[in-house]
A and B are shown apart, each in its own frame.
Chain A
Amino acid sequence: MESYTEQIRTLAVDLLKSGKVDVVIGYRKGSVPMATVPFMARTPEQAKQLTWDSHCTLNLANYLTNRQEKIGIIAKGCDSRNIVNHIVENKINRDQLHIIGVPCKGMVNPKELQALLDDKIVSYSESGSTLTIASSQAEIKIEREDHLRDNCSLCTHRNPVIYDDLVGEVVTEPVLDDPFKDVNAIEAMDTDTKWNYFDDLLDGCIRCYACRNACPLCYCPTCFVDESDPQWVGKGQNETDIKTFHFLRAFHCAGRCTDCGACEAACPMDIHVRAFTRKLIKDSKELFGWEAGLDISKRPPLDTFAPDDPNDFIK
């Protein structure tokens, strides 16, 4: 992955120097180990701060909404699918973009890595697929594949679907035996167990809206939870309001969610927010044969009408 960083920097510097783009959106190292932050490089000098490792978990398509300038953007599989979403939904023009595609090998779950050591991780490095984490007391080496984020281990679109330059080689797309095991497990529960499952799931929610803010799909100028006239949903810690927020936010992502996991990466309370969107991803696939963000010429299923749309639910 170090070579990825070098290639990304070279491409970004060239793009900025030649004036092809005004800004390159990528990641740079965060202030603590195992953290990256989204970064907008506006000069070739700044572009040298760009980086790539197994912690580039936020979705950069989130930073494209309604931008006017020419933009270079680093895109792994899921980011590229969200860029397609943005183009289809007229939030950005394809002509404005120079997409630097990065075939993704999956991002790791930092909380899982931290759990491997008793003390706080103070240094992190990676070489190929081997990650080295160290606290003040111990140092261990682990394999990336064993500690992927949940959504990355379920990902079947690791290669960018749209790009102008490609960093590194195309990776083999995994084939999953049972991609919706998690959703099926919830579907198998009875009604009240389901209700309680989601009650427990949302137990820690503090309504910080980090999931919404990190989500590239949530670009409404005023989110329904922030509206005051009419006030669609209460603003407090009432359980019903919390559940209404998560239910509706998820539904707004129906047929659009790429399972990029930015919501969960952003959640300070470690809530499995994807439990909602995963069901919608499964339904989109089963009802409409649809996976979001794969084709720039197709609109999402809930945005269009086709005579053969499933309508068994209508009496």
Chain B
Amino acid sequence: MMASLLEHMGMEKDRVQFSWISSAEATKFATVAREVAQSVEALGPNTKFVKGSD
């Protein structure tokens, strides 16, 4: 619901992501981290909810 409200308020959907990764799931962690980094890079620098940017 929090992600949904943020999206509703105009945050890009991919900026906030959730995942559940066990300490034994190193591969999953690496994959998810890479995906998150890629999707955030695609969005470019964040200017929303950043003080001084407005």
Contact = CB atoms under 8 A, between A and B. Distances in A.
Interface of A: 183, 186-187, 191-198, 234, 238-241, 243-244, 247, 250-251, 254-255, 276, 279-280, 283-284, 287, 302, 313-315
Max chain B C-beta neighbours (<10 A), residue from A195, A198, A239: A195
B5 A247 contact: yes
Contact of A251 (B5, B20, B54): B5
A240 B8 contact: no
A197 B10 contact: yes
B51 A240 contact: yes
B7 to A, nearest CB: 8
Contacts of A240: 49-51, 53-54
Interface residues of B, number: 24
Contacts of A302: 1
Contact of B10 (A196, A244, A250): A196
Nearest to B9: A198
Contact of B51 (A198, A234, A250, A287): A234
B27 to A, nearest CB: 14
A239 B9 CA distance: 14
A302 to B, nearest CB: 7
Nearest to B17: A315
Interface string B1-36: 111111011111100011110000000000010010
B53 to A, nearest CB: 8
Contact of B49 (A193, A243, A254, A283): A243
Nearest to B16: A313
A198 B10 contact: yes
